[in-house]
Structure 1
Amino acid sequence: MGLMITMSFTRNIAFAGLTAAGKTTHARLLASELGYEYVSATDILLEMLGVDTPGDQVWFARLQEINEARGDGAVDAELEQRLLELNRTRHATVFDTWALAWIGDEPLVRIWLESDADSRARKCLVSQRQQRLGLDECRNLIDDKDTFNRELFTQRHGFDLFTDRDRYDVILCNSHLIPQATDTAAQAGIEAFAPIVHAAVTSVLTSDTTSARELARAHPREVHRITVPDTSTVGRC
């Protein structure tokens, strides 16, 4: 941890994944560890909409309102233009976003965090600052949010958020790391997964195929793909 990437390895990094997969948590952690800047698409979106609810809580109370504001695609068009411009003009930045991994210009390290529906429902439950939703309600919430994004991105860009993974350099899975809907389990899962995220990304940034292969052998459940810049691909997909 704490590795500082030299200026020759300052490619931007774009995290993607379904709701409650851990994008924000691990994007923030990685940015801090690498000494990178952090940019949240959600924060930009809420600023554009004039919504002052914290980004990690807004979906619990205002999802329908936000979806309606995004319905015609105009808000997303402006958001995506802002993200594209930031990616073009910044270096050493971690983006916590939905679509940039697909639409962003090179050079960009593209990361997908895989997490199954049950684990994401558990993470949704424990992430509430005030207990409003039960486990089934959390499951419905994340399904509604992800289905909306899936339909919007299919219409705008022609990729399926649920199934298309070809664009990503790194695919990591944390489904099994949060087996219970408790703060203790969630924190333990984050602490177990964060070093794997860090190692996978730095192997891409440094074109280190050996480290990528060692990581995949040591963590086969978590590492599904690492593609380093020389086009070598390790993992099980």
Structure 2
Amino acid sequence: MGVIAISGQVASGKTTVARLLADKLGYRFISIGELFRKVAAERGLTLMQLHELAERDHSIDLHVDQVSIEEAKKGKVVIEGHLAAWIVKDYADVRVYLKADMMSRAGRLARREGISINDAINEIKTREESNRRRYMAIYSININDLSIFDLVIDTSLININDTLDIVGSYVIKVLNAKGKL
């Protein structure tokens, strides 16, 4: 019945870890970022264009957040997204935050999107600044305050399998302690 929220910086590994963790636990996987990308595609916008629109139209974030909350209420789910831990905080059994240094994240994003490191750095900075402004305006959330997280991991120097081992071990221990596994 557990609910796991995985948040983190752009290109920190959160989506990959969350998907693999969901598979490991036999849980459903929900990506807030993928929901956001789906909205962008439905509107014929790029992700960056939707970020810009969402700064003016808060209904976009509120819709995606409501979908996330409904999924959390069902249980047995790993929910991933920049704000996932805050959005589903009333339902989450474990809240994990992944971070990494800028060059590690830029390298990952550049490889994933087929762009230059400089373009990746610019995209990361733009997206994170947009996120920061929106989250403060809509929710009064400071995304740099990590005090709500049970586990914070720097993925700069460890690979995805090592990150999954750490997160998975912690999550399983917590869910067992809560009688939810």
Which TM-score bucket, shorter chain as reference? 0.7 to 0.9
Aligned: 1:125 with 2:110: yes
Measure the CA separation in 1 of the matches of 2:46 and 2:60. Answer: 16
| Deviation of 1:52 (Å) | 9.1
Query: 1:144 and 1:50 mapped to 2: Cα distance?
Result: 20
TM-score, normalised to structure 1, is 0.68
Aligned-pair CA distance for 1:64:
2.8
In structure 1, the residue matched to 2:35 is 44
| Paired residues for 1:52-201 under 5 Å | 62-71=46-55, 72-88=57-73, 90-104=74-88, 105-128=90-113, 131=114, 133-161=115-143, 163-177=144-158, 189-201=159-171
Give 1:13 shift: 0.6
Contact persistence 1:46–1:52 (CA under 8 A): no
C-alpha separation in 1, matches of 2:63 and 2:108: 30
Shift in alpha-carbon separation, 1:25–1:52, aligned structure 2, 3 A: farther
Structure 1 residue matching 2:10: 3-state secondary structure: coil
Unaligned runs of 5+ in 2: none
Question: Within 2, Cα distance between the matches of 1:69 and 1:159?
Answer: 19
Q: CA deviation at 1:73?
A: 1.0
**Residues 2, 75 of structure 2: 8 Å contact kept:** yes
Residue aligning to 2:4 = 13
Percent of pairs with identical residues = 27
User: 1:42: how far off?
Assistant: 2.3
Task: Let me know the Cα RMSD of the aligned residues.
Answer: 2.0
Measure the CA separation in 1 of the matches of 2:125 and 2:67. Answer: 27
Per-residue deviation at 1:159?
1.8
Name 1:203's counterpart in structure 2. Answer: 173
User: What residue ranges of structure 1 are gaps of 5+ in the alignment?
Assistant: 1-9, 54-60, 178-188, 208-228, 230-237
CA contact (8 A) 1:170 1:201 kept: no
Deviation of 1:170 after TM superposition, in Å, equals 1.4
Mapped contact 2:6–2:78 kept (Cα < 8 A): yes
Aligned length: 176
Structure 1 residues 21 and 111, CA, compared in 2 at 3 Å: closer, same or farther?
same
SS in 2 for 1:16: strand
Structure 1: which amino acid aligns with 2:171? V
- Cα drift, residue 191 of structure 1: 2.3
Please, what TM-score do these two structures have when normalized by structure 2? 0.88
Specify the structure having the higher radius of gyration (Cα).
Answer: 1
CA deviations on 1:70-96 (whole Å, 9 max, x unpaired) are 1221110111112112212x1110011
Report Cα offsets for 1:15-43 as digits up to 9, x if no partner. 10010000110000000011111111123
Q: More relative contact order in 1 or in 2 (CA 8 Å, sep 6+)? A: 2
